[in-house]
Amino acid sequence: MPAAQDDRLARSTCGPRMATRFAARFTDLPQAGKKRTNPVILGFPIAAHALGGDLMVCSSNNFISRRRSSKSFALKCYVGPFRRRAAEYHILNYQLVPDRNSAKLTVKFVPSSIDWSQPRPFFPPFSIKALPEGRAKQFPRVQADSTKFKHSRTTESRRKAVRDEFLRSYRSYQKFAWMKDELEPIAATGKDTFGGWAATLVDSLDTLWIMGLKKEFHESAQAVASLDWGDIHVGAVNLFETTIRHLGGILSAYDLSGEEALLKKAVELGEMLYMAFDTPNRLPGFWLNFGDAEKGKQIAGIHDPSASPGSLCMEFTRLSQLTGDAKFYDATDRVTQFLARIQNHTMLPGMWPVALDFMNEQVNDNTFSLGALADSLYEYLPKMHALLGGLDPTFETMYRTSMDVVAKNLLFRPMLADKADVLFTGDIHFDEQVEVQFVTESQHLSCFVGGMFALGGRLLDDDEHVNLGERLARGCGWAYSAFPTGIMPEIFNLIPCPTLEACEFDEERWKREGDLRLTKGFRHARDARYLLRPEAIESIFIMYRITGNPEWQDMAWNMFQAIVRETTTEHANAAIEDVTRLNSAKIDSMESFWLSETLKYFYLIFSPPDLVSLDEFVLNTEAHPFRRPRS
């Protein structure tokens, strides 16, 4: 079979860190799986006839992976129409040469007007704890075997539809709200909600890379690398939101692209956020108040959301891993040690309440939930275990302990007419008499729990957690289908079964307690809004990657179609008032997580499993992938 002939120079941004750039001239390639000794200079695009005559074209769009050693170069791409098969080429005696045009793509770092590393702390730490040392442990495989994943024409068309929807919203942001935090999708104007540092731009940067929008990525990355953290628009910024969106977004974009300017910009931001830990006990407050920081008057909060200081560890740890500066890891480890100390000394031992007294390092709240205010604290436990390569047992212990309590106390099976095998999470309150009140009210925010259980189960080789994760993820998928719009509400209440096993549907009870406008089993939808949230598709994506079952893709596609149908505006997508009614009034809001999380998860569930593999990356609570250490 003749090999294709081509002498064009091409450019690649693919590689182990997706950052190697080189140009190539090649004369021939072997058939799939065959080896050649011809000296080859390799680059993109590559075309060759393989697998019975299919034309193989390897570019950034169908690239799967490459392996490079001192003796050979292995390249794997999808071949043929609709990406049905993969071919691997082994080329010996390869040679890489610099790309003469790569300088045009290099992002240039523009320093901020203030160097936040210079102010001397009022309460410096007595010591700095180093990152755990040693070789990362060998974790069980998270994703299903590659043979279980099928990529069809239908899958590819769905992926394109998601990408098109992203581009429509992103280009409207570029046109109407560039460098603002958010786009108002109805008024077609911008607004600042998170400090005025272009939250949507930063949050969506890695999505651009993942979707192969490299031109848009480099344009946007240059804008991000030029952000001025000294240009303060407000007196205080939300520490949690700035960390997960801005710091997480920039670190992820660097992890994917290798653009050094982005890491420098992340370090600048990290130095600024590090000031929030300059308190008497080195635990941060909810806000980074610049005036208080300048005067040494910062203190930790006495009733702050547990997820706020408790969900900074992934971003600060990754910054330490990339820079070698352990102070960022040390800062959040102090929060971790406080949480570990009190975990078994709360009103529900093993869990943390939704608010904590970080200033006095005490527990003073009586509500326990996996929803708002506490959610990502729990989400980060298995993810931190993976990010640290399993070298610190603290996060595994905290995860196992808390999830044992969750499984026994916070999960419930709804009483449904079709007896669907689904689970949801509720809340527990302790009244003044210290009596337990279990409330079967669930939230869209808590839909992440299915993915957390499934991921934690895979990482720790616990099949029971994977099974719980599947039932929880199915619950959120079912809830979407249970409403006229095909979308689940922000907060809703269901009538529970006595146990996690199936129970008979009690029609009379539902008529007494339920809202007869809703599907049988629902008591009410207390907050019927949909805010473009990602948590349901997040868990469904994780279940798909763990199982390879296309049923999850079909569920996701139904959700995507419903969301687009109900949220589309002239320019982008907007939150809606009431999912219980078709054609509901829209809210002039499009938070940055629409582009950072929701559409990213929809895109990834229809993408090849090697794109952001869960065995190579762990995603923060804003869906920013951080590279896991190699074992």
Catalytic site residue 260? no
Catalytic site residue 535? yes
The C-alpha atoms of residue 324 and residue 370 are separated, in whole angstroms, by 33
Furthest-apart CA pair in the chain: how many Å? 83
Q: What is the pLDDT of residue 435?
A: 86
User: For residue 559, which of 486, 495, 500, 493 has the smallest C-alpha distance?
Assistant: 486
Catalytic site residue 490? yes
Q: What is the DSSP letter of 196?
A: S
- In tens, the pLDDT along 458-507 reads 999 999 999 999 999 999 999 999 999 999 999 999 999 999 999 999 99
The answer to the question of whether 394 is labelled as a binding residue is no
- In tens, the pLDDT along 86-137 reads 444 443 333 333 333 444 568 999 999 999 999 999 999 999 999 999 999 9
Active-site pick, 535, 566, 591, 597: 535
Q: What is the DSSP letter of 552?
A: H
Active-site pick, 216, 490, 578, 622: 490
**CB contact set of 542 (below 8 Å; sequence gap of 6+):** 450, 451, 454, 455, 469, 473, 614
User: Is omega for the bond preceding 414 within 30 degrees of 0, making it cis?
Assistant: no
Q: What is the pLDDT of residue 363?
A: 97
- In tens, the pLDDT along 576-625 reads 999 999 999 999 999 999 999 999 999 999 999 999 999 999 999 999 99
Contact present, 41 and 24 (Cβ < 8 Å): yes
Phi first, then psi, for residue 560 (nearest 5°) are -60, -45
Contact present, 591 and 182 (Cβ < 8 Å): yes
The answer on pLDDT for 167 being more than 80 is yes
- In tens, the pLDDT along 243-260 reads 999 999 999 999 999 999
Stretch 434-457: mean pLDDT, rounded? 97
- In tens, the pLDDT along 60-71 reads 444 444 444 443
- Output the pTM of the full model: 0.85
Q: What is the DSSP letter of 135?
A: P
The C-alpha atoms of residue 346 and residue 366 are separated, in whole angstroms, by 8
Q: What is the pLDDT of residue 44?
A: 36
The answer on pLDDT for 543 being more than 50 is yes
- In tens, the pLDDT along 325-363 reads 999 999 999 999 999 999 999 999 999 999 999 999 999
Please state, rounded to an integer, the average pLDDT across all residues of the chain. 88
